[in-house]
Each structure stands twice: as structure tokens, then as C-alpha cells.
Amino acid sequence: MSLIGHFAERRGYFLVSACVLVLDQVTKVAVHAWLRPRGSVSVIPGFFNLAYSRNRGGLFGYFSTLDDPWRFLLLLLFPVVAIVLIAVFLAKTDEPDRSTLFGLALILGGATGNLVDRVVRGEVVDFLDVYASWQPLESWLLNVFGTAHWPTFNIADSAIVVGACLLVLDILRPTPKPAPGK
């Protein structure tokens, strides 16, 4: 089957990626306009805020202190390569597992959303702020992780994490055994 034929078969997954990208960018524009001037807004007290921030680095702020142009190239080159590889794989694969394909579609949309931020803004807009203030949980998190506050993230990051979890679950899920005689 040609690449175009495969793409046509997988268009639903590319539509998922496009929806993630659009939702990510729309929320970032809205957050920039509405939340940036207001500061943090409590949604679930003691657990979840909307808080505007910008991340010059990669995951959890890694590489944020790296000097330009190296930081920009590193955080631009790797995502571009990953996006191209995932898109080609999604278009060409004969993989039948829908959760694998859906996971890849989520990662593709999320990676593209954060790449758009880096190209347009030079950094990624984050706004989802999760933390624990309930004393027993906060103490446990501080003991185990050294913090009870998760780094601020966005829709694209969420899609990447959910997509990666789907891929891990697919790897860990037992493969069904063929029926006897087959």
C-alpha cells in the first residue's frame, strides 16, 4: 500500500493529533490573554491552580540554563526529528493495536504543540499547577520526592504523558496466545 493509502487509513489518528495541537494552542492563547495579568487562580484549593508560566527549557525545565543557540537547537532539533519519525510511522505502519496508534497520535499532537511554542515564543507556555497541601500526603511527597508541587504543565505535556502511558501499557500487556491449531 502506498504512503497516501496508509495515511488515508490512519487519518483518524492524525485528526486526534490535530485536535490536541489546536486545543493546546487555543488554551495557551487564552491563558496568555486572561491568566497572565491575573496571576494564579485557585480551581481546587490545596490541589490545583491555573498559574501562567513560561518554560525556556525542556521537561521539568531541563536545559533552561543552556546558552542559545544550543538550547534552542537542542529543543528544536529533537522534537522535529521525533515528530517526523512518529508521523511517518503512523502513516506507514501496519500496527493493528488502536491504543498504540492513539498513544502515538497524542504524542505527535503534544510534541507539535510544544514545538509551535518554541518556534513562535522561544519558550513553552505552561499553566496547569498541581500540588498537595493535605499534610499526610504533602509530608510523604516531601520525603519521597523532595517536593509536594508538580512542575507547571500544559495540554501538550498532558497528551505526551497519556500517550507514553498508553505505549507502556501496550508493552506490559500480555500478548494473547493464538488459538490451538493455528
User: What's the pLDDT tens digit per position in 57-85?
Assistant: 776 666 666 677 777 777 888 899 999 99
What domain range includes position 48?
3-172
Domain count, the chain: 1
The model's pTM: 0.84
Reported as type and span, the H/E element at residue 55 is strand 48-55
- Residuewise pLDDT in 10s, the chain (182 residues): 555 666 667 889 999 999 999 999 999 999 999 988 888 899 999 889 999 998 877 766 666 666 777 777 778 888 999 999 999 999 888 878 889 999 999 999 999 999 999 999 988 999 999 988 888 888 888 888 888 888 889 999 999 999 999 999 988 887 776 667 65
| Nearest residue to 50 (alpha-carbon basis) of 62, 34, 66, 61 | 34
What's the rounded Cα separation, in Å, for the pair 17 and 83? 11
Residue 177 lies in a domain: no
What's the rounded Cα separation, in Å, for the pair 32 and 53? 9
Annotated catalytic, 157?
yes
Residue 99 lies in a domain: yes
What's the rounded Cα separation, in Å, for the pair 129 and 133? 13
Instruction: Tell me which of 24, 117, 126, 129 is the catalytic residue.
Output: 126
Residue 77 lies in a domain: yes
Residue 179 lies in a domain: no
DSSP state of 161: H
Instruction: Tell me which of 24, 117, 129, 157 is the catalytic residue.
Output: 157
